[in-house]
Amino acid sequence: MLIFALYKAVPPDIAKVGTVGGILKREEAQLVINPHDVQAIEAADYMRRLAGGKVISLSMGPHQRVIPIANTLYDYEVWGVDEAYILSDRRMAGADTRATAYTLSLGIKKIIEIHEEAVSKLIGAIEENKDIGEVMKLAEELYNKNLIPNKIYNDKPPLKRYSLLERFVNREISREDLLNKLREHRESLRKDLILFLGMKAVDGETGNTGPQLSQALSEALKIPVAHATYVTNFSYDPDKKLVRVRRRIGRVIQEIEMDLPVLLTMRPEYEAPSIPLRRGRDVLLENYKGKVRDIKILNADDIKADLRAIGLVGSPTQVGPTIEVKKTIIKRILGRSIRILKDVEKIKIGDKEFGPYKKDEIITDPDKDLVKELVEKGFAKIYDYDDLADEIINILSRRERG
């Protein structure tokens, strides 16, 4: 089974990036893995122990800056990821969550296709009645590239004698059986699929990408991808190929069953159960050869992206001008602000000019001379607890807000 663990590279908390010479600029700061995505890696690792297969890490971002993170994921607890792909292309920059989901879905499709093509090649060789030595050579090559699992080809005991090709060589299965099993495996690649994401990214804070990717993948793979967000625990039934999740929706706890393919976004509280469920040989046969440490970079052309649907141009949402949060509010400072009691025309005190003021107007921080003038003449009063009490009563007696 192909198990995808998706992650985002994010700038570290600027507060934590102190250096001797001062603070690093955000653009220069080394990126780190989005902390929520650590749970995605952990869940993927657990899934591999449960069902076999391989864990593929996938991210979208400038590869020079994502590679250092991708490298660390090979050695994550317990086993880490088996392979790493990065979607990197200037044209992908500035993507909103929809454009991101679209791009990721095509990246995943491409990776699946790479595996399908490998199996097709093998099927082709057998169909053309190539010499068995040649077929075995091709299988070995594909196996060493991590493109076919142990159940198809393996060259070492104890798994060797259970592999399809070995059984074919030993005449335990017919050529037709072999071809059917290979076709079955090829078809399973886009069906027996599971994807894990963190529940949101700390820089964008939307949590959109998971649900949007489930839809994008449904469209790209032409097979509906069920999803569940904010998952704290899940289990997998390998015989029925279904994922069980217990999650909360408001005041309701739902227990759900989903057929593969499935996408889950994991809550930070998620912890993989520590004891792996041993299914022995079945799981080992599903596994691939091992880790491929050369990270593969895919660009927009590799994944055959519609260039109008990726990056900033492919984003339906656009960010307008940002504004600083400051409301213009008339403050009342108890003991300092004044409340006007009667309408006041323009007045001159010394060389300063004030007004005019209207009844009940509040002056937040009035000039001292003005206060003296107005309060003495009975045109204003210092805002005090009585005024506050009046306001509280007025506000709460108004039936509805404006």
Partner 1 sequence: MSGSSLESRLLPATPDLESYKDAWGFIEYIEGELFEISLETLGAANKVARKAGMKVGAVILGHKIPEEILRELIYRGADYVIYADHPELEHYNPIAYTEVLYQMIERYRPWALFFMADDLGRDLGPKVAYRATTGMAADCIDFDVEDFEFKLAGKTYKNLLAQIRPAAIWIAKIFTPRHRPQISGVRPGYFKPPPRDPNRRGDIIRFDPLIPEEAKRFRVVKVEKLPEEKDPLRDAELIVSLGMGITRRPGGEPDPVKAFEMAKELAEYIAKKLGVKTALGASRALIHAELKELEGKITHDMQVGQTGKAVSPKIYIAAGISGAIQHKVGMQSSENIIAINIDPNAPIFEIATHIINEDLYTAIPKIIEALKKRLGE
Residues 305-364 contacting partner 1, CB under 8 A: 307-309, 312-325, 327, 329-335
Report the candidate in 233, 253, 269 with the shortest Cα–Cα distance to residue 243: 233
Report how far residue 216's alpha carbon sits from residue 102's, in angstroms, rounded to the nearest whole number.
Answer: 6
**Nearest-CA neighbor of 375 among 331, 333, 349, 340?**
340
* Complex with partner 1: residue 13 or 134, whichever CB lies closer: 13
- Binds partner 1 (CB under 8 A): choice among 228, 272, 292, 295: 228
Ramachandran bin of 241, using left for φ above 0, alpha for ψ from -120 to 50, beta for the remaining angles: left
Which residue number, 119 or 197, has a Cβ lying nearer to partner 1?
197
**Among the residue ranges 15-23, 48-56, 225-233, 274-282, the one whose residues contact partner 1 (CB under 8 A):** 225-233
Rounded Cα–Cα distance for residues 306 and 294 (Å) = 27
Q: How many residues does the chain have?
A: 402
77 versus 384: smaller Cβ distance to partner 1: 384
Query: Hey, which residues between 139 and 198 contact partner 1 (CB under 8 A)?
Result: none
The nearest distance, CB 198 to partner 1, in angstroms, is 14
237-276 binders of partner 1 (CB under 8 A): 248-259
Q: Note whether 216 binds partner 1 by CB under 8 A.
A: yes
Query: At its nearest, how many Å lie between partner 1 and the CB of residue 374?
Result: 20
Separation CA 321–CA 341 (nearest Å): 41
56/220 with CB nearer partner 1: 220
Q: Minimum distance from CB of 188 to partner 1 (Å)?
A: 16
* Shortest Å distance, C-beta 194 to partner 1: 13
Report the nearest approach of partner 1 to the CB of residue 345 (Å). 28
Question: Which residue, 277 or 389, is less far from partner 1 as judged by CB?
Answer: 389
Q: Which is nearer to partner 1, 132 or 393 (CB)?
A: 393
Pick the binder of partner 1 from 120, 208, 233, 299 (CB under 8 A).
208
x/- track of binding to partner 1 for residues 49-68 (CB under 8 A): --------------------
Kindly give, in sequence order, each residue whose CB lies less than 8 Å from that of residue 333, ignoring residues fewer than 6 positions away. 364, 365, 383
CA–CA separation, 155 and 166 (whole Å): 9
Those residues whose C-beta lies under 8 Å from the C-beta of residue 150, and which sit 6 or more positions away, are: 159, 162, 163, 284, 285, 286, 287, 288, 289
Q: Which residues contact 109 (CB under 8 A, 6 or more apart)?
A: 190, 217, 220, 221, 303
Minimum distance, C-beta of residue 357 to partner 1, in the bound complex (Å)? 19
To the nearest whole angstrom, how small is the minimum distance from the Cβ of residue 85 to partner 1? 22
According to the binding rule CB under 8 A, does residue 15 interact with partner 1? no
Residue 233 sits in the site that holds partner 1 (CB under 8 A): no
The footprint of partner 1 on this chain (CB under 8 A) covers a number of residues equal to 74
Select from 85, 197, 84, 175 the least CA-distant residue to 126.
Answer: 175
Residue 16 near partner 1 by CB under 8 A = no
- Looking at the Cβ atoms of 292 and 338, the one nearer to partner 1 is 338
Enter the tokens of residue 313: 């141009």
Cα(102)–Cα(89) distance, rounded to whole angstroms? Answer: 14
CB 389 to partner 1: min, Å: 4
Omega of the bond leading into 366 within 30 degrees of 0 (cis): no
Q: Does 128 bind partner 1 (CB under 8 A)?
A: no
User: Which of 120, 188, 206, 233: binder of partner 1 (CB under 8 A)?
Assistant: 206
Q: Which of 37, 45, 96, 286 binds partner 1 (CB under 8 A)?
A: 96
- Please, are residues 59 and 6 in contact by the beta-carbon 8 Å criterion? yes
Task: Write down the least CB distance from residue 308 to partner 1, Å.
Answer: 5
Please tell me whether residue 380 binds partner 1 under the rule CB under 8 A.
no
**Contact status, residue 95 vs residue 103, Cβ threshold 8 Å:** yes
Q: How far is the CB of 243 from partner 1 (least distance, A)?
A: 10
CA distance 246 to 233: 7
289-304: burial string, b at 16+ Cβ within 10 Å, e else: bebbeebbbbebeebe
